[in-house]
Structure 1
Amino acid sequence: MTARPARGVRRTVGLTLGVALLLTVLGAPLGLLWAAVAPDTPVLKTAEGAIYATPQPEQPIAADGWFSLLGLGFGVLTAIALWFLLRRRRGPVGLLAGTLGGLGAAVVAWQFGRRIGLSTYQRLLETAPDGQAFTKPADLRAGGLDWLVVPHGNLLLPAFGAAVTYTLLAGWSRWPSLRPEPEPYAAWPPPLAGAGGWGVGPAEGLSSAPVDRPARSAAPEPPGPDAAEPPRG
C-alpha cells in the first residue's frame, strides 16, 4: 500500500524533471535564432578598449527586444505543446515542467547566443590597431544572473509565458480534472426517427406525440310510448 504511492511520486517527479531538462536543451536552437536576428553593435578600438561607434546605439536595445519576443513566444508554444502532449498529466506536472524548462531554456539561449562570434570579437579587441571599427555580438543588458544562479530581467519571460498560457488553458478547460473525460450522455442510444422524435416511435406503441382521443359511446335512446314499463318492486 505504501510502495505504490511512493512509486507514483517518483514517476511524477521524474517526468517533471525530464520534461524540464528537454525544454532546457531546446534553449540552444533558441539562442541560435536570437543570434541570427539580433543585430551586432558597431564599436571602435581605442587605447582603453572598445567604445561604441555612435553615442547612443540602438543595437543593444534591439538585442534585448528580440530576446524578449523570442523568449515569450517560446514560453507560449511550450505551454500549448505540454497541454496537448501530456493530456493525462495535466495540472501541476505540466505547469511546473513548463516553468522550470522556461527558466533553463532562457539561460541556455542567452549563454549560447552571446558566445557566437565572441571569440572573434575578443581577438580583434586584442590585436586590432587603435581606431579600427568592428562589431560586438549581441548580448543582454536587461537580464542576467544574480549570484550566478538566479535569473532576472527578460530571462524570466519564457517561464512567465509558459505559466500564464498554461494557466489560461486550464481555466478554459471544460473538464474539472483538466483531463479528457467521457461525455455523460455518450452511452445513451441515439434518438429513433419517427413521429415521437426522442424515444420509441409509434411502431413500438409508445410515443410522446399527441394522439386522437377515443370517441364517446352513443347514449341510449329513450323508450317509445308503447314500450312496456319495467316491473316495479
Structure 2
Amino acid sequence: MTVPNTPAGSTPGPDPYAPVFPPQPPARAERPPLGPELRIGAVVTAAGAVLGVVLGLLWLWLAPRVGYAVQDNHILYRDPEGEELIGAVGVFSLLGLGLGVLTSLGAFLWTRARGGGIAVAVGLAAGGLLGSVIAWQLGTHLGATPDLRAHALSVGNGGTFDGPLELTAKGALMVWPMTAMIVLLFLSAAFGKREPDRPPYWATPGPAAPGQGPPLDKG
C-alpha cells in the first residue's frame, strides 16, 4: 500500500513494520567417510613398498663397489683412496630423490579430483620409508657376500673381487619420504583445489536492531 501524502513518482522507503528474521547459521559441511581415505593411504603405502624393490635393483646395478685384492694371504684394497662407499650412498640418495618426486606427483594427480586428505601425506611418508628399507635390505642381500675371507679363498692368491654393497649413512633412508612430503606440499599449495572464500563478517546480516520486531497489526 502507498503511504498517504507520498509525492507521485517517488519510491517508498523500507517498511518499518516489515519482519526482520535473524540470520540462519551456515549449514555445517558433512565430514567425508573415513573408509575411502584409509584405502587411498594403504594404496599409496603399498605402491611405495613395490617401488622399493625397483630402487633396490637399481641401486645394486648402479652403485660402485669397493674392490679388494688378495696378495700373500692378505686382503688389500685395490684403490686405498677410492670413494666407493660414499658413491654407494650418493647413488641411493639420488634414486630415492627421484622416486620421491615421482611418487608424490603420481599420488597428487591420482587423488586431486577424488580427494585423499591427510591419508595421501601419511601414505607417501610411510611408503617412502618402507620402500627405502626394502631397497637397502634387497641390495645388500643380493650383492656380494660380506664374508671377505671366504671370497678371498675362492679367488686365491693374486685374485681380485668386489666387496659387498653397503649403505654406510643410514640417513639416506629418509631422502625418499622427505622429498615426497616436500613435493606434495608444493603441489598442493600451487595446484591444489581451492575452497571458496567465506564472505567478510561485515557482509553477513547482523541481528535485528533494538526496537524492531514482528509486524504490528495496522488494522
Residues 24, 47 of structure 1: alpha-carbon distance in 2 compared, 3 angstrom cutoff:
farther
For 1:70, the aligned partner's letter is: L
Match of 1:23 in 2: 48
Q: TM-score, normalised by structure 1?
A: 0.62
For 1:73, the aligned partner's letter is: G
Residues 1-233 of structure 1 aligned to structure 2 (within 5 Å): 8-45=33-70, 50-87=75-112, 88-119=114-145, 123-143=150-170, 153-173=171-191, 175-177=193-195
Give the percent of matched residue pairs that are identical in Structure 1 and Structure 2.
Answer: 30
CA RMSD of aligned residues (A): 2.9
Q: TM-score, normalised by structure 2?
A: 0.65
Q: Are the aligned partners of 1:78 and 1:162 in contact in 2 as well (CA < 8 Å)?
A: yes
Partners of 2:84 and 2:143 lie apart in 1 by 16
For 1:92, the aligned partner's letter is: I
Residues 174, 74 of structure 1: alpha-carbon distance in 2 compared, 3 angstrom cutoff:
closer
Q: Secondary structure at the match of 2:191?
A: coil
Q: Secondary structure at the match of 1:26?
A: helix
For 1:54, the aligned partner's letter is: D
1:29 Cα deviation (Å)? 1.2
Partners of 1:50 and 1:159 lie apart in 2 by 38
Deviation sequence 1:19-54 (CA, Å, 0-9, x none): 202211211111111111112211134799744222
Partners of 1:13 and 1:20 lie apart in 2 by 11
Deviation sequence 1:72-95 (CA, Å, 0-9, x none): 110011000000012212431211
Partners of 1:95 and 1:55 lie apart in 2 by 44
Q: Aligned residue pairs: how many?
A: 165
Residues 78, 48 of structure 1: alpha-carbon distance in 2 compared, 3 angstrom cutoff:
farther
Q: Are the aligned partners of 1:28 and 1:105 in contact in 2 as well (CA < 8 Å)?
A: yes
Rg larger for: 1
Q: Are the aligned partners of 1:116 and 1:137 in contact in 2 as well (CA < 8 Å)?
A: no
Q: Secondary structure at the match of 1:172?
A: helix
Note the residue ranges of structure 2 that are not aligned, 5 or more in a row: 1-29, 197-219
Q: Are the aligned partners of 2:56 and 2:134 in contact in 1 as well (CA < 8 Å)?
A: yes
Q: Secondary structure at the match of 1:140?
A: coil
For 2:141, the aligned partner's letter is: R
1:99 Cα deviation (Å)? 0.9
Structure with bigger RCO (C-alpha 8 Å, 6+ apart): 2
1:132 Cα deviation (Å)? 3.0
Partners of 1:140 and 1:55 lie apart in 2 by 19
Residues 101, 8 of structure 1: alpha-carbon distance in 2 compared, 3 angstrom cutoff:
same
Note the residue ranges of structure 1 that are not aligned, 5 or more in a row: 144-152, 182-233
For 2:168, the aligned partner's letter is: R
